[in-house]
Homo-oligomer: A and B are copies of this chain.
């Protein structure tokens, strides 16, 4: 009987309960033809944060691990980094030192380690890294630390006519290098933070050069701005896991008709991590209060997920 269930259940890694019910109820409402909540397929937009929502983010955002590896590659071209923070800390593998410098230091660090090459070169650099670098605690590839239940949710939504977008504070080009393969989300459905790029005609042909200057920060109030800029439609469903997703959820909630606003609550110290209000990475505080206040869907990872990572 259990096997039978698994075959017909679109979300086999989700345990029965109110969280799973809220998802099934939402999709049924939106897709029931002639129903009061029915929405035409072109308008079925679902947006997902990435770090902490589709894959893990501990002990710190995985893209920072990429930047830490990059800083060592680039250090020979930047002798000044030996004495200059946050680069000095990064070169000494002192991530606490990098993070301790605050948001400005982290952004400086990301921008400096992500610029200077062409878009094609950067794509290769990330592809090489993501297929070889291992998580310090689990030893897994980072792409093996995506959440199986969320992969099923992405598939389920797409099977019901939704287009699934990523709306992440992470780098748009960093994500595009691997999310199509891992999440089946194509590059044009990835919205993220970016640095400037500049068109340049070289002898070999035109290139886009990545300039180490912030173009767009797709976090907090930036998320609804990014959604509107790239999609121009209000999503029907938004899933996040931190206060950085609160405005995206508010923006989604403010549309008419049936909506689903979801938060992944990290409650599973055994299979993943447990953290919320006091965490430096992925802090979930005000958004959790608002979710409980408004009856948004809060995933209790420990209770609601049968498995966390793919086998």
Chain A residues close to B by CB (< 8 Å): 42, 119, 172-173, 176, 186-188, 190, 194, 197-199, 201, 205-206, 208, 221-222, 224-225, 228-233, 247, 250-251, 254
Contact = CB atoms under 8 A, between A and B. Distances in A.
Given A176-B232, A247-B199, A250-B201, A208 B225 contact: yes
Nearest to A228: B208
Contacts of A194: 229
A187 B254 contact: no
A199 B225 CA distance: 7
Contacts of A198: 221, 225
A225 B173 CA distance: 13
B232 A199 contact: no
Contacts of A221: 198-199
A232 B187 contact: yes
Contacts of A232: 172-173, 176, 187-188, 190
A59 B172 CA distance: 40
A254 B224 contact: no
A74 B123 CA distance: 46
Contacts of A119: 228
Contacts of A206: 224, 247, 250-251, 254
Contacts of A186: 42
A230 B188 contact: yes
A205 to B, nearest CB: 4
A199 B221 CA distance: 6
A251 B187 CA distance: 18
Given A188-B231, A198-B225, 10 more contacts: A42-B186, A172-B229, A188-B232, A197-B228, A197-B229, A199-B221, A199-B222, A199-B224, A199-B225, A208-B228
A231 B208 CA distance: 14
Contacts of A225: 197-199, 208
User: Which of A172, A206, A232 has the most chain B CB within a 10 Å cutoff?
Assistant: A232
A172 B188 CA distance: 16
A229 B208 CA distance: 11
A90 B197 CA distance: 35
A72 B229 CA distance: 28
A51 B194 CA distance: 28
A309 to B, nearest CB: 27
Contacts of A228: 119, 197, 208
A207 to B, nearest CB: 9
A222 B221 CA distance: 25
A281 to B, nearest CB: 23
